[in-house]
Structure 1
Amino acid sequence: MTINVLFAAKSERWETYEQPLRKALADAGLDARLSMDIPPAEVDYIVYAPNSDLQDFTPYTRAKAVLNLWAGVENVVGNDTLKIPLARMVDPGLTKGMVEWVTGHVMRYHLGLDTDITRSDARWEPRTPPLAQERSVVMLGLGALGSAAAKLLANIGFQVTGWSRSPREVAGVTCLHGEEGLKQALGRAEIAVLLLPDTPATENTLNRETLALMPRGAFIINPGRGPLIDDDALIEALDSGQIAHATLDVFRTEPLPQDHPYWAHPGVTVTPHIAAETRATTAAQSVAENIRRGESGEAFLNLVDRDLGY
């Protein structure tokens, strides 16, 4: 029996994903009809991007699951018409890209590379950076991305502490959770990396109170979600020297408005949401695997907990 798979995303995404998805479905041994135009009552699975025109899931009475193309689900998880399982995207290609980006910026701060890169005079100032084992890095968020990045940093030799809202275990990483755990983690965060989901419970995780807990002169790297940081509080902390520098890849409004103070602040590096991107080939394989599981009666991978919001 043919499986009807609706691709519900922007048309430019269809051009990128059509062939990888067709190949991944065939490689998985699935007889699938993949299209952007299937009558709702005939759809078995929805491959979905939250910015698509499909916002009412009520007519999709036969659908078994919505398979998100994005790692973030904050723009769909609260949809009251969505009653079927929702799987977030955990793409091996995206994970590798995020780990490389995070590691690069952690090493940049650890080695003090900006001192030489931005030098504009002829000063000769030798310095010896600490070894990784002498540097404390804190990973806020221990999902698939945070855990992968934390493991690599620990393998390099950093003292890595991970924090999450609920208990987690990651090999080689000191794992903390809960409100008290957050305070402990930030107290040792010479470099803090934010890879938390965007939920009401994580908004402004870094605010005036929590930024003050960090060692003076700490560094912040945020490739997670813009709302994780109170922007005004961060600018105050940068101006006072409490935070030495912040590299920010995500923002509450994107593109970041041209008049936003982050652009001109000497203590901020702005990158245009480039830390990690879903790769069509590997993402298509993840989608096909979940469809195969659905058809064989196995549990879907990476299901979203509606109560937690991720």
Structure 2
Amino acid sequence: MSIIIVSKGKELEPWVEALKEKRPDLDLRIHPDTGNHQDVAFALAWNHPIGAFQEYPNLKCISSMGAGVDHILKDPNIPEQVTVTRIIDENLTQDMGEFVAAQVLSYTRTLQEYKAQQAEQTWQPLPYKRAKEVRVGVMGLGKLGAHVAKVLTALGFQVSGWAKSEKKLDEVAVYTGQEAFDGFLAEAEVLVCLLPLTEETKGILNKDTLAKLPQGAYVINVARGEHVVEEDLLEMLDKGHLSGAALDVFEQEPLPQGHPFWKHPRVFVTPHMASKTDPASVVPQVLENYDRLKSGKPLQNIVSSQKGY
């Protein structure tokens, strides 16, 4: 039974090396040079060409090469018999917690303002906010969101979270469902988006939503670029309703040259690097599902096509 890697734009050599190191005799193929399509039952995917999986009549499982699966589920031609799975990795989780904490602290301790002052050779101490004085709202309380909330709580921030279904987290005020959304937003001086990308969450950071945040709120998006209506975010920044935004993900990546985000004084841009999958770390769970598929055992980390995560 073959494994095929189907990806556009991702460096594949580390994946091939990690898979071969763990399983030297693995029948591993790279799309589109795949040999007999009948042999392929398991696929590793990231931003695959739409419709590519229809080429493999015996395909049974598509594993995302990362935590997100929206890049797979947006393909309307996924064969009905295929199960989609995702990666759950402690390194990814730890990296995301560290990155978001760094962004929140950069905001509360005015570090970006000091960088601007340094360029102008200006010596001017600025007021800052203590963690206990700031409420951070985390949108999405899955594996990553729950960990981020835990990290921020440990740093002394007041933390609230919003989720579609009921969650319980120590020292975190959890808001559940659409009826609680406005109340959640009204308290979030810093808003962190860690939602999965679904039809319901696409464009959720829009003018109406952002207007419900407190005056001067700060927005951090580390989920997907499609969560943000870019024109609305720019408008709310320019109006002064938002004090700034830290953006790690964008509707078009790489962010195009000349895009307003690049030079906006209140936008901090990073190139989709808040957390990155380490193939050596996640290959064991990929091979675990491969072995389970071969032996007819239930797969792990299955994604619901209805929920989108």
TM-score normalised according to structure 2 size? 0.89
Which residue in 1 is equivalent to 2:47?
50
Preserved contact between residue 204 and residue 228 of structure 1 (Cα < 8 Å): yes
User: Following TM superposition, by how much is the alpha carbon of 1:54 offset from its aligned partner in structure 2, in angstroms?
Assistant: 7.3
* 3-state DSSP of counterpart to 1:118: helix
- Report 1 or 2 for greater relative contact order, CA contacts < 8 Å, sequence distance ≥ 6: 1
* 3-state DSSP of counterpart to 2:27: strand
* Cα deviations by residue, 1:98-153 (Å, 9 ceiling, x for unpaired): 222111101111222223222124444363x3432221001111122212211111
**Structure 2 unpaired stretches of 5+:** none
CA distance in 2, matches of 1:59, 1:241: 51
Alignment-mate amino acid for residue 82 of structure 1: P
**Structure 1 unpaired stretches of 5+:** none
1:8-87 correspondence runs (5 A): 8-10=6-8, 13-25=11-23, 32-36=26-30, 37-51=34-48, 53=49, 55-77=51-73, 78-83=75-80, 84-87=82-85
Preserved contact between residue 93 and residue 283 of structure 1 (Cα < 8 Å): no
Which sits farther off after the overlay, 174-183 or 31-40? 31-40
Alignment-mate amino acid for residue 44 of structure 1: A
CA distance in 1, matches of 2:290, 2:270: 35
Which sits farther off after the overlay, 290-299 or 86-95? 290-299
CA distance in 2, matches of 1:42, 1:54: 21
Alignment-mate amino acid for residue 65 of structure 1: C
Which residue in 2 is equivalent to 1:269?
268
CA distance in 1, matches of 2:126, 2:39: 68
Shift in CA distance, 12/206, structure 1 to aligned 2, threshold 3 Å? closer
User: Between the two proteins, what is the percent identity of the paired residues?
Assistant: 33
Which residue in 2 is equivalent to 1:217?
216
RMSD value over aligned CA atoms?
Answer: 2.2
Shift in CA distance, 11/276, structure 1 to aligned 2, threshold 3 Å? closer
Which residue in 2 is equivalent to 1:115?
113
* Cα deviations by residue, 1:142-183 (Å, 9 ceiling, x for unpaired): 122212211111122211111122222333322212222221
Shift in CA distance, 10/241, structure 1 to aligned 2, threshold 3 Å? closer
Preserved contact between residue 64 and residue 72 of structure 2 (Cα < 8 Å): no
Alignment-mate amino acid for residue 125 of structure 1: P
TM-score normalised according to structure 1 size? 0.89
